[in-house]
Amino acid sequence: MKVWLKYLIGTVLGVLAAFILPMDIPSVNSFVASASELAIRFGRYAILPFLVFGVSMAFFNLRVNKRISKTALWTAGTIGAGTLILVLLGLLSILIFKLPRIPITGEKMTKIPVLDIKNLIMMIFPYSGFDVLKDGAYLLPAFIFAGLAGAAGASDTAASRPVIQVLEAASKICYSIVTFFVEWLSVGMIAIAAYWIFQAKTVFATSTFVPVFIMLLVDFVLLTCLIYPLILRFFCKDLRPFHVLYASICPILCAFFSGDSNVSMFTALRHGKESLGIQDEVNNFTFPLFSVFSRGGTSLVISICFVTILRSYTDLGFAFVDVLWIFVSTFAISFVLGALPQGGTFVALIAICSMYGRGFGEGYLLLRPAVPLICSFAAAFDVVNWITGSYIVGVKTKLIEHQDIRHYI
């Protein structure tokens, strides 16, 4: 059975369970929430071991074959271009179409999450290299450690041959473990989807946020069914651009209902290799970097939410300087959310409101009830961007073996 079909069945069963189970009973609600959290932890479990060994081998092979610079440049360019496209799409849609106001409430938050950029920079290089294995949320320190190990091995292939053989064997074993976790996470999707529906029912109890979700849905359809297929058709000269969307079905389901970028990376990475045919050198190099830095979907969602907040407070229009500020701020903040695989969208929205000031510092409270769904859309946008971007890098570096669509997992 296709992996995406397993995830779809798990999602449908979860949705049905949410309507059958008495979720208003605290014990039932608590059980489903705990099961959902356990499933997400299950999905994250093997990330760091695979990252260390897989990235090490990717760096080793890329450096030995003198392709590391080209791959890194294409990856960086694709991350920047993808984020730019998503931010522009979000800004244009919200500036062209004016959404209804969101009623202003007197709600307060006792504990406000803060985006500490200085701490993120310090976390890249912990006091000990082995400390990179302590935090499974922030993948960049582990990526750098593994990259240095692989690149060092390529500097003297004869001396490092025994170590490289161990790394290669460990990488293959870890990928087998990844395959196991991706397969069985489809069962966990039952709990994840059930808990998501429970949260969604609370949000949809009023129609306040429906226009925002409709705009996000329309933007998602435009991106996946028009913008990215056109880019693949003309930029990559791909005659079958929609096959990337087909390969994205499972990662989209996982990202949307879990709202977790690290869990989504696993499913995306496997589909990148086994469905799209992206070779390990690119696959294991690009997806961790995309999960850390390519959060353009989050920027798109933030831009729509922030403009909606401003319009809810005032009828005044936007000067060009304001639009430029929103564009630059939402574009820049997407690159510093790597340590927040879950809930980073709301933290970024808080940061944008605080930076803008002018009496809108607590404007994020208007959208606080809709946070679970907002984060879901952001994760779905992000994962589509990752798969499309990694596919483009694979094509441009010629490290891809195109598969017949019948063989997609």
Q: pLDDT confidence of 244, banded at 50, 70, 90?
A: very high
Provide CATH code, domain 3-407.
1.10.3860.10
Contact 23, 198 (CB under 8 A): yes
In angstroms, the Cα distances linking 300 to 123, 238, 317, 348, 380 are 27, 26, 20, 12, 11
pLDDT at residue 82, rounded to an integer: 94
CA distance 262 to 337: 12
CA distance 369 to 374: 10
pLDDT at residue 108, rounded to an integer: 64
The predicted model scores a pTM of: 0.93
pLDDT at residue 68, rounded to an integer: 92
pLDDT at residue 162, rounded to an integer: 87
Summarize the chain as % helix, strand, coil (round to 5): 75, 0, 25
Contact 54, 175 (CB under 8 A): yes
Tell me the mean pLDDT in the region 145-168.
87
CA distance 116 to 307: 24
Mean pLDDT for the chain overall = 88
Closest CA to 388 of 88, 74, 87, 137: 74
Q: Residue 347: count other Cβ atoms within 10 Å of its Cβ.
A: 20
Strand partners, 342: 260
CA distance 87 to 347: 17
Token pair of 254 as six digits: 């996982």
Q: Residue 282: count other Cβ atoms within 10 Å of its Cβ.
A: 28
Domain boundaries of the chain, sorted by first residue = 3-407
